Amino acid sequence: MSVVMRSSRTHLWLDGLGDWSWPGRAAEAVEALPPSWVPSFPPRLEPVSVGVPSAGSWQQPRSTARTLIAGTLLSALAALCAMLALHGPLALERLLGLRAVAPAESTAARSTARGPQPLPTLRASSHDAAGSSIDTASYGSAALAGQGSFIAYLPPGYATTTRRYPVLYLLHGNDQAAGAFLQIGLQGELDRLIARHQMPPVIAVMIQGGRGANNWRDHGARRYEAYVLEVQELVDRTLPTLPAREARAILGDSMGGYGAMNLALGHPERFSIVESWLGFFDGLSGELRAAQPILASEGLHAFVYGGAADEIADPSENARFAAALRAAGASAHSAVYPGAHTMETLQAHLPHMLAYVGRALRGEDSAVQQRRAPGQQPPSLRASSR
């Protein structure tokens, strides 16, 4: 495969939505080696840990100038809060010359108010010898105020069974197409893992995002975070899914790795598994703190990895962020493998990453087993046995 993603440090992945930092190799964080089943080929490159940071401490110190700016903004915010406390919301309206804006509604609330969103129609695209199929779907997206679309992998036996399936949601990188996951062999790897019983039969949904560095976040009229949630809700209404947190995983590469982690931490009640492939995590400390109660009580399976020669997403961030996730209550692993910010690196580790999802869906992660009573079956497996 010769497709190579852009690899320039001058690329602004956050595109004005936050700060991007380059801690550098000298500050490379380290962590304990993961369980023996975590693939070690190609060899892992990070050394053994000397400590575990608290949630949020993985980020690098900001400059003095930024600190002063932040202090000024906080002081202004404190003054505004005092004014609101004394004079109520009308004081803000008088100050801005505007009417107060109503709180933002969730995707589900908007759908309820306007009636159910029309369901997308899936169209068969291809089948393979193993019996799985690839379907495509498009629909009018309220979140994007335009066309939304996704590609669905349907497992072998899908058309002849009444069972319900866990779902993997996949978010692509900057200027990629959703079909990039098929180019690196997603369909064949899922077929093999399911046939070997290393993965329960699953549906995989590859969501098509927009062009440019939107990071799968809400930005202007294009509300990409809401778009992912919208697709998840439509998939649960359209396909025979297991509509439960324990049966949902969200994965992504590069910009999609950031988006997957942002969605998993911003909506921890929806996803129990998250993976970031050659991704980054800057600006997610607030989401991590807010998600900590759910992570501590319900758990979260996470695997993040970087490429040692990656010049776009600093690989030293992976171990730090995995340690912060563990401090918040998640079962998290990281790795730094040889390779650059390329499709070849993604392809080399696709079987490992999918195998990790399979173990998590089957409840074979030790951290989750400790939370579960002896003999208690994982919720996703109980439901999928119907």
What would the pLDDT profile of 165-194 be if each residue is shown by its tens digit? 999 999 999 989 999 999 999 999 999 999
Checking if the pLDDT of 254 tops 70, the result is yes
Q: Residue 42: is the preceding peptide bond cis (ω within 30°)?
A: yes
What would the pLDDT profile of 54-112 be if each residue is shown by its tens digit? 444 454 444 434 444 455 455 555 555 554 444 444 343 333 333 332 333 444 444 44
Checking if the pLDDT of 216 tops 70, the result is yes
Which residues partner with 124 through β-bridges?
135
| Average pLDDT value for residue range 255-261 | 98
Question: Looking at per-residue confidence, does 374 or 150 come out higher?
Answer: 150
Which residues partner with 332 through β-bridges?
302
Q: Find, among 124, 143, 319, the residue nearest to 229 by Cα.
A: 143
Percent pLDDT > 90 in the chain is 58
Which residues partner with 137 through β-bridges?
150
Which residues partner with 146 through β-bridges?
141
Query: How much is the pLDDT for 73?
Result: 53
Checking if the pLDDT of 148 tops 60, the result is yes
Per DSSP, helices labelled H in 134-219 are: 180-183, 186-195
Q: Find, among 166, 223, 233, 227, the residue nearest to 200 by Cα.
A: 166
- Strongest mean pLDDT among 118-122, 136-140, 219-223: 136-140
Q: Find, among 334, 366, 252, the residue nearest to 38 by Cα.
A: 334
Checking if the pLDDT of 132 tops 60, the result is yes
Checking if the pLDDT of 333 tops 80, the result is yes
Given a contact cutoff of 8 angstroms between Cβ atoms, the answer to whether 366 and 33 are in contact is: no
Give the phi and the psi of residue 340 in degrees, each rounded to 5.
-110, -170
Given a contact cutoff of 8 angstroms between Cβ atoms, the answer to whether 304 and 257 are in contact is: yes
Greatest C-alpha distance within the chain = 70
Residue 254 to residue 312: CA distance in whole angstroms: 9
The SS3 of residue 167 is strand
Residue 81 CB neighbour total at 10 angstroms: 10
Per DSSP, helices labelled H in 275-315 are: 285-298
Residue 208 to residue 148: CA distance in whole angstroms: 7
Residue 121 to residue 123: CA distance in whole angstroms: 6
pTM: 0.71
| Average pLDDT value for residue range 300-312 | 97
Checking if the pLDDT of 42 tops 50, the result is no
Q: Residue 118: is the preceding peptide bond cis (ω within 30°)?
A: no
Task: Render 11-33 in DSSP notation, one character per residue.
Answer: --TTTTSS------GGG------
Joined tokens for residue 81:
């809060």
The SS3 of residue 332 is strand
